[in-house]
Structure 1
Amino acid sequence: MKPTAIYSAALALALAVSSAFAETAVSDAQLQKFADAYRSIVVLSQEYAPKIKTAADAAAAEAINVEAQAKMLSAVQGAGLSKEQYQEIATKLRSDPELLQRVNEILQKTAAAQ
């Protein structure tokens, strides 16, 4: 699967997160942090989705999901954002095509550099 398709799929998941919409501008530095966290979340999603799918039962799947969510939160914080900041930017991406384009450009530049 192409990195762009993976990023698009994970971005769709990120956009599903609901949060209060704030009327503040998002800096390039914040977008870079968001993109860094987003890439980590994509990798974690790819790692944990098969584990959840093949879990022995619902309790095991839930335990794996809780572990994955903790690692995703850690990735967001490791990128320099709070959960709330990440969710706020993800929410803004839904209604701001220019902001979405800026994030996509950051993701594409990073993918091209790898």
Structure 2
Amino acid sequence: MKTAPVLAALLALLLVTPLTQAQGSAQPAVQAIASYSKAQLEQFANAYRSIVILSREYAPKLKAAADIQEAEAINQEAQGKMVSAIQSAGLSREEYQQIATSLQSDPALVERINEILQQKSAQD
């Protein structure tokens, strides 16, 4: 069974802002980027790390799913755990999505997140 589209949809759900939010003007988005605190970025990095771990855990399960119903059940379970990981990190799903979307257009923000992730990897 081809589960790559299901996996892509899973990741897209958590990493991309809904279309209705993305249609806003660019000016508020620039202001939002500048307003992320170090604590918010650390929370995002923690959530991101958890989501990457969950993605690695669930990718083989999705690939091994016998049918679309099983894949959907696995997908729902993974989504629930990913949302929980975001909330456990101290962010709402919307806040996580906003930062993730900002990363697409702000290389400096990407660099800041990468630095936080590297620091956390060095501590582990």
Please say whether Structure 1 and Structure 2 have the same fold, judged by a TM-score greater than 0.5. yes
User: Please, which runs of 5 or more residues in structure 2 have no aligned partner?
Assistant: 1-10, 23-28
The question of whether the paired residues in 1 share the 8 Å contact of 2:83 and 2:93 is answered with: yes
Could you tell me which runs of 5 or more consecutive residues in structure 1 were left unpaired when the two chains were aligned. 1-12
The aligned amino acid for 2:57 is E
| Equivalence for 1:47 | 57
Question: Is residue 62 from structure 1 mapped to residue 52 from structure 2 by the alignment?
Answer: no
Distance in 1 (alpha carbons) for counterparts of 2:42 and 2:85: 13
**C-alpha root-mean-square deviation of aligned residues, in Å?**
1.7
CA offsets, 1:17-58, max 9 Å, x none? 134363321110000000000000001000001001001111
- 2:36, 2:101 → 1: CA distance? 12
**Counterpart residue type for residue 17 of structure 1:** V
Q: 2:114 maps to which residue?
A: 104
* TM superposition score normalised by structure 2: 0.77
Compute the displacement of 1:113 (Å): 1.6
Letter in 1 for 2:122: A
Look up the equivalent residue of 1:100 and give its one-letter code: V
Question: Which letter maps to 1:87?
Answer: Q
SS of structure 1 residue aligned to 2:104: helix
Quote the Cα distance in structure 1 between the aligned partners of 2:77 and 2:15. 20
Q: Distance in 2 between matches of 1:112 and 1:78?
A: 22
C-alpha distance in 1 between matches for 2:82 and 2:45: 13
Paired-residue identity, % = 62
The DSSP-based 3-state class of the residue aligned with 1:56 is coil
Map of 2:88 onto structure 1: 78
Give the distance between the partners of 1:16 and 1:67, measured in 2 at CA.
Answer: 17
Mapped pair 1:35 → 2:32: no
Q: CA deviation at 1:16?
A: 5.2
User: How high is the TM-score relative to the length of structure 1?
Assistant: 0.83
